[in-house]
Every structure is written in structure tokens, then in C-alpha cells.
Amino acid sequence: MTEPIKIGIIICDRYRSCAGGKCLRSLRNREGAFSVYKNQDVEIAGYASCGGCPGGNVEYAPMEMKKNGVSVIHLATGMIVGYPPCPRIRYFTEFIREKYGMDVVVGTHPIPENYLTTHTALKTWDSKLWQELIAPTLSDEETRKAYD
């Protein structure tokens, strides 16, 4: 039996009281950014908030998660769908990769349809960079609506 991939999830501090229901459901169903694990066993071995702007906990949480065997950090979908989206998400991704040598995935659960509608109207994600960042969590319309 192969060892499961151990992942950590870092959420936006605005949602620090989030129970993780959408993230856990999408992991179980291998939807959104978790679709990359379709045929793999996965274990959540860390869950923390960024610590609030400017994200001070991002400097330390990955180290603790790595000690627990985490090899991939997911920056939660809340960081991209919040109003406004996290302006430091690209930096967090690069920092964690450089400092800890860990893979980083932007996103967890699929973007809910209502957030996609609003951010599309606001042109939040019109840039090439944002299109790359949200790609793992776009999913199809039916799936997005299931996460509203």
C-alpha cells in the first residue's frame, strides 16, 4: 500500500472561523483543485490561516506542516474569491516553494458560481496571471453551482 500524499491547507484569515466544509467535500469528491488527486490517497496533515494581512503565518505554518509530512500546500479558494482577492497570493506561492521546497497549489474547492459571476462583472480576474491562478478551481457550471 502506498503512503497517502499529505497536504496542508492555508486559508485567508478573514475566514478563520471556517469549518472547512467546502474544502473537505471537494477533497472527498476530488473536485476543484483537488481533482489532481483523482487516483491517489490524500491526507490533510495541516490546516491554518495565513494569520491576517500581510500573511505573517505563511512564514511559519508551512514549516510545521512539513514536519508532519506535508509535501503540498493548498492556498484555499477563499484567498481568490474574497472581496478583494488576496493581493499576496503569488508571493505566498513563490515564498513557500523557495523557503520550504514544497509544491503549492492555488485553490481547494471549486469557485462557487455566485463568486464567478461577481468577479467576472468586476473584471477581477481578467489578467493572464489571475486566469492562471483560478484555473484549477474553475470547474464546470453545475459543479460551481453546487458550491454556492
- What are the residues whose beta carbons fall under 8 Å from the beta carbon of 85, sequence distance 6 or more? 79, 119, 124, 125, 130
Judge whether 49 and 13 are in contact, CB under 8 Å. Answer: yes
Q: Which residues pair with 42 in a beta bridge?
A: 5
Tally the C-alpha atoms within 13 A of residue 148's C-alpha that lie toward its C-beta: 12
CATH class belonging to 5-146? alpha beta
**pTM, rounded to two decimals:** 0.95
Residue at 98: amino acid letter: E
The pLDDT profile of the chain, 148 residues, written as one tens digit per residue, is: 579 999 999 999 999 998 899 999 999 999 999 999 999 999 999 999 999 999 999 999 999 999 999 999 999 999 999 999 999 999 999 999 999 999 999 999 999 999 999 999 999 999 999 999 999 999 999 999 999 9
Residue 26 in grid coordinates: 471537494
C-alpha cell at 112: 462557487
Q: Is 90 exposed, middle or buried (0-12, 13-18, 19+ CB in 10 A)?
A: middle
Any idea of the CA torsion for 123, 16, 92, 130, to the nearest 10 degrees?
-10
Residue 13 cell numbers, joined: 484569515
Tell me the backbone φ, ψ of residue 18, rounded to 5 degrees: -60, 135
